[in-house]
Amino acid sequence: MLMPKRVKYRKQMRGRMKGKAYRGSDVSFGDFGLQALEPGYISARQIEAARRAIVHAMKRRGKVWIRIFPDKPYTKRAAETRMGKGKAPVDHWVAVVKPGRIMFEIGGTDPSTAQRALTRAKYKLAVRAKIVSRDVPGEA
């Protein structure tokens, strides 16, 4: 699963997810992409599940680009534990996703296969998403 090799600080504050993603909002590498429509946290497990769904649907043809990385530690207290005693240990890692962010891209496959693969991946994620295609300048 994806996680940073090392971090400067073990634990982070949650922060806020306001605004839209202006960086990473265009299909840059492949021909089709999966774009987030709402803000949220995507866990490393969800990213891996979506990646496997895409690879399986494409039958290992074409190429997949993962445009998000889980670099935020998410802490969670054990069940039935009393409050206090400091901040909980890191439970898993998440990627912060804002609306407009391209999360996955695929290339080297036909549009119907791409549509099927990205639809399968969409079901694995915790945010609503839509399938977008590359805007080629000069074509209308």
Domains and CATH numbers, the chain: 30-73+90-131 (3.90.1170.10)
pLDDT value for 37: 97
Each residue's pLDDT tens digit, 99-135: 999 999 999 999 999 999 999 999 999 999 999 998 7
Neighbours of 136 (CB within 10 A): 8
State the pLDDT confidence band at 65, using cuts at 50, 70 and 90: very high
- Is-contact 2 102, C-beta < 8 A? no
